[in-house]
Chains A and B, each alone.
Chain A
Amino acid sequence: MKYIGWLAIVPLIGMFLGPICHNASTPFILGMPFILGWIVVWIVITSAVMAVIYRLDPARGQADEEGPR
């Protein structure tokens, strides 16, 4: 977990990299202007990366004692 958690930084950087390198409306991605399409793609990647982190997380499924107390 300690190391795999750092993977979460990847999509955060990726998200900004598109508009930083290419701040323009074209080419369109998925029918959307470049920056919007780029962000949408990276949001989906973020979700995938978080799923990978969750899979590999040793804390997964280790239900802390349930209930109010």
Chain B
Amino acid sequence: MNIALILIALGAILALVLGLAARRGHAMKLEEWTVGNRGFGTAFVFLLLAGEIYTTFTFLGASGYAYGLGAPSYYIIVYGTIGYVISYFMLPPIWRYARARHLVSQPDFFAAKFQSPGLGLLVAVVGIVALIPYLVLQFTGLGVIVEVASYGGIPKSVAIIIGAIVVTLYVVVSGIRGSAWTSVVKDFLIIIVAVFLGLYLPLHYHGGISAMFTEIDKAKPGFLSFAATGKSLAWFISTVVLTALGFFMWPHSFAACFSARNTDIFRRNAVLLPLYQLVLLFIFFVGFAAVLVVPGLHGAATNMALLKISVAAFPGWFVGIIGATGVLTALVPGSLIMMTAATLCARNLLAVVRPGQGDEQTALIAKCLVPVIGIVAVYFAIAGSSTIVALLLMGYAFVTQLFPALIASLLPRNPVTREGATAGILAGVAAVIYFTLSDTTLAKLLPGAPEFIRDLNIGTVALLVNIVAMAVVSAATFGRRTALTGEAAE
């Protein structure tokens, strides 16, 4: 047994113990389990909202993106910043509305705002379809990290199964409190690891950060700025805007906001979180350091850049700490996703089909569904599946389709009807599916258009389709709505 393996195991045990201990003194009723009885202060909400930035996807993906693409990777720190700016204005009204009505999920919110359980059902389906591949990705990342960091001592599949069992246990027992407590350790570890790696590796291999970038600039001209075509500036800006709009549309981030004690917490966090995510900068440095040190990784293998260079540069015990950190970056978002997906199924799918299902029953069903969701995700993570990869590409674009209807519902007089919102989301989702499966880009759609239009992220078109459908159908059904009820808008 090597020392790395022991440290990784300790990381998993620590997560389990903390996750289970988080329950102490709280009866896990539905509102407690899902949103911590709306009692979380600035620190916990901060960590839950920041949790979204530091997942396995960013740990491996951000460094891999910097390694493989260079400048386009910067979109990752920009969209988060803009997402937090939006949150300052968007989250307080959402929170107030949700608290007054005891809402615990994102579909709850849509169903209440538009007085339409059917729309709630649609939002729940979109959410689940986006969440499951995201969970699979966390498990896949966990497997990769543990296998590499244990020097092959623990095979991927075993790591995934153990990780899934740990996270299932503490989600069922402690709900969102488990996620909040484990995220304290996760963020502490990732900051230390990221800052250390990001400073040490450039220094060790290149003599400093500035020297490293000078060398890269010389070896690969154009790598540190945007290309004239393809992943150009137009791609960058449109991608930043799209992902920023989708940032809080993930069902688990949306519902995590309900856990706040008051609205001031969101405002304070919107000031702090942009700075906090600068830690990602150090993850970029790791990716850049790997460019000249471990060249030759292509495609999906670029995600291995951080692990490859770490194994090459460090002794076993430190690789073990990186592995343990990797485990936590998978478990914390994984736990929120599992809990949210289970809540969506139990409350927004099942309860609609079986009217009269009380909160107590819903909580019980949701807890029983957590292991089921875990098993499904483990299966896909181990088996690997092209469907899941395709779904994952679509996930972010799916949840972004919820944005127009949500913003409309926050306006003083909501101009969008339930039919309009439903039509918009359906049309947007259909467009995303079509574009992804047919591999359509704007350059293919409009070959004659100027370059900055050809390079726009294709998601822009899906969002436009959504907004147009929403507007047209709303205009057609608006008169009927005002006749039926005067109180659709808050």
Residues of A within 8 A of B (CB): 5, 8, 11-12, 15-16, 19-20, 23-26, 28, 31-36, 39-40, 43-44, 46-47, 50-51, 53-54, 57, 59-64, 66-68
Interface set, chain B 84-133, CB cutoff 8 A to A: 84-85, 88-89, 92, 96, 99
Select one of B209, B233, B264, B278 contacting A62, CB under 8 A: B264
Is B225's CB within 8 Å of the partner chain A? Answer: yes
Is B77's CB within 8 Å of the partner chain A? Answer: yes
**Residue of chain B at shortest CB distance from A8:** B85
Verify A44–B275 contact, CB threshold 8 A. yes
Verify B225–A28 contact, CB threshold 8 A. no
A19 to chain B, nearest CB (A): 6
Is B237's CB within 8 Å of the partner chain A? Answer: yes
A35 CA to B71 CA, complexed, in Å: 8
Verify A64–B263 contact, CB threshold 8 A. yes
Verify B267–A19 contact, CB threshold 8 A. no
Which residues of the other chain, A, contact B261 by a CB distance below 8 angstroms? 66-67
Q: Name 4 extra pairs, CB < 8 A, besides A23-B225, A31-B209.
A: A12-B85, A15-B81, A15-B82, A68-B31
The 6 A-B pairs of least Cβ separation, nearest first, read A31-B210, A25-B224, A33-B224, A50-B271, A47-B274, A63-B262
6 residue pairs from A and B, CB less than 8 Å apart: A5-B89, A23-B233, A24-B225, A46-B85, A64-B262, A67-B261
Which residues of the other chain, B, contact A11 by a CB distance below 8 angstroms? 81, 85
Which residues of the other chain, A, contact B236 by a CB distance below 8 angstroms? 19
Is B281's CB within 8 Å of the partner chain A? Answer: yes
Which residues of the other chain, A, contact B295 by a CB distance below 8 angstroms? none
Is B38's CB within 8 Å of the partner chain A? Answer: yes
Select one of B96, B214, B224, B272 contacting A35, CB under 8 A: B224
Verify A33–B213 contact, CB threshold 8 A. yes
Interface set, chain B 257-294, CB cutoff 8 A to A: 261-264, 267-268, 270-272, 274-275, 277-278, 281, 284
Select one of B38, B226, B267 contacting A54, CB under 8 A: B267
Verify A53–B264 contact, CB threshold 8 A. no
Select one of A32, A46, A50, A68 contacting B37, CB under 8 A: A68
A24 CA to B217 CA, complexed, in Å: 10
A56 to chain B, nearest CB (A): 11
Verify B267–A15 contact, CB threshold 8 A. no
**Residue of chain A at shortest CB distance from B208:** A31
Contact with A along B67-87 (1 / 0, CB 8 A): 000010010011001101100
Residues of B within 8 A of A (CB): 31, 37-39, 71, 74, 77-78, 81-82, 84-85, 88-89, 92, 96, 99, 208-210, 213-214, 217, 222-226, 233, 236-237, 261-264, 267-268, 270-272, 274-275, 277-278, 281, 284
Which residues of the other chain, B, contact A59 by a CB distance below 8 angstroms? 92, 263-264, 267
A41 CA to B278 CA, complexed, in Å: 10
| Contacts A12-B85, A53-B88; A67 near B38 (Cβ below 8 A) | yes
A61 CA to B245 CA, complexed, in Å: 27
Verify B271–A47 contact, CB threshold 8 A. yes
Select one of A5, A36, A44, A66 contacting B262, CB under 8 A: A66
Which residues of the other chain, B, contact A32 by a CB distance below 8 angstroms? 209-210, 213
Verify B272–A47 contact, CB threshold 8 A. yes
B314 to chain A, nearest CB (A): 23
**Residue of chain A at shortest CB distance from B263:** A64
Verify B213–A31 contact, CB threshold 8 A. yes
Select one of A16, A23, A40, A57 contacting B267, CB under 8 A: A57
**Residue of chain B at shortest CB distance from A1:** B89
Which residues of the other chain, A, contact B37 by a CB distance below 8 angstroms? 68
A7 to chain B, nearest CB (A): 10
Select one of A43, A60, A62 contacting B274, CB under 8 A: A43
A20 CA to B240 CA, complexed, in Å: 14
A31 CA to B88 CA, complexed, in Å: 31
Which residues of the other chain, A, contact B222 by a CB distance below 8 angstroms? 25
Which residues of the other chain, B, contact A62 by a CB distance below 8 angstroms? 264
Verify A12–B39 contact, CB threshold 8 A. no
Which residues of the other chain, B, contact A64 by a CB distance below 8 angstroms? 96, 99, 262-263
A51 CA to B265 CA, complexed, in Å: 13
**Residue of chain B at shortest CB distance from A12:** B82
Which residues of the other chain, A, contact B39 by a CB distance below 8 angstroms? 67-68
Select one of B31, B96, B225 contacting A33, CB under 8 A: B225
Verify B208–A51 contact, CB threshold 8 A. no
| Contacts A15-B78, A51-B271; A28 near B263 (Cβ below 8 A) | no
A33 CA to B272 CA, complexed, in Å: 25
A60 CA to B391 CA, complexed, in Å: 41
Which residues of the other chain, B, contact A46 by a CB distance below 8 angstroms? 81, 85, 274
**Residue of chain B at shortest CB distance from A20:** B233
A26 CA to B216 CA, complexed, in Å: 12
Which residues of the other chain, B, contact A63 by a CB distance below 8 angstroms? 262, 264
Verify B264–A43 contact, CB threshold 8 A. no
A66 CA to B81 CA, complexed, in Å: 28
B291 to chain A, nearest CB (A): 13
